[in-house]
Amino acid sequence: GQSLEQPSEVTAVEGAIVQINCTYQTSGFYGLSWYQQHDGGAPTFLSYNALDGLEETGRFSSFLSRSDSYGYLLLQELQMKDSASYFCAVRDRSGNTGKLIFGQGTTLQVKP
Amino acid sequence: DSGVTQTPKHLITATGQRVTLRCSPRSGDLSVYWYQQSLDQGLQFLIQYYNGEERAKGNILERFSAQQFPDLHSELNLSSLELGDSALYFCASSVGTGINEKLFFGSGTQLSVL
């Protein structure tokens, strides 16, 4: 099966940089995804890493180390609107399903 | 707007009742997924359909069932409802089942069982 671990809460100030870590255990690996969810709203896709290294998309970057079964989401120049929950997720390996298994989520609180 | 439509947005019902949640995927998407999110919890995978057929099952209770219709919309049926079934239920869709495909989520149905 699959399992993911991420911190439950992170707090940072506006303008700062914050890193949200995710470690995973999976019988087969097909990449690590990150989703953002504002206050019970629809989760939205942020990034996907299939290979080791850093992927940058604007203020957000995502990193993956397959040998360490570890990844992180890096948010730079934090803004108040970045306050949200962030979920890492991995693909399920069994069959050709494409379903995503999500971590419990990290609640990011950005303070002025 | 993700293009995924879920109805109703809110549902209040009593224990023992049965409800149906509806989802219309994005145009062109063949895969539909249902997730349950309880208060301050992660997204728990319930079930997936691809082009009308069940593709994967998660920890879905026997009291719950789902189907995907020929027009690709999907319904999640919850019966013999219990207080613990109160949660936010999300539907998501993707084009197919590829390993790098991203999911597009609807706004969810907030179910309250009283």
Contact B79, A11 (CB under 8 A): no
Res. A98 pLDDT band, cuts 50 70 90:
low
Q: Please answer yes or no on whether A87 and B43 come within 8 Å at the CB atom.
A: yes
Residue B70 structure tokens: 């020929």
Residue A99 corresponds to which tokens in the numbers above?
Answer: 């379903």
Report residue A99's pLDDT band, with 50, 70 and 90 as the boundaries.
confident
Does the structure show a pLDDT above 80 at A96? Answer: no
Chain B residues within 8 A (CB-CB) of chain A? 2, 4, 31, 33, 35, 41-45, 48, 50, 55-56, 58, 88, 90, 92, 94, 96-108, 110
Distance CA A70, CA A82 (A): 23
Q: Do B45 and A102 touch (CB under 8 A)?
A: yes
Q: Do B94 and A98 touch (CB under 8 A)?
A: yes
The confidence score (pLDDT) of residue A93 equals 65
Per-residue pLDDT of chain B (114 residues; tens, 9 = 90+): 889 999 999 999 999 999 999 999 999 999 999 999 998 778 999 999 999 999 988 889 999 999 999 999 999 999 999 999 999 999 999 987 777 779 999 999 999 999
Both tokens of residue B41?
Answer: 């919890």
Q: Which two tokens stand for residue B25?
A: 């995927």
Q: Which residues contact B65 (CB under 8 A, 6 or more apart)?
A: B76, B77, B79
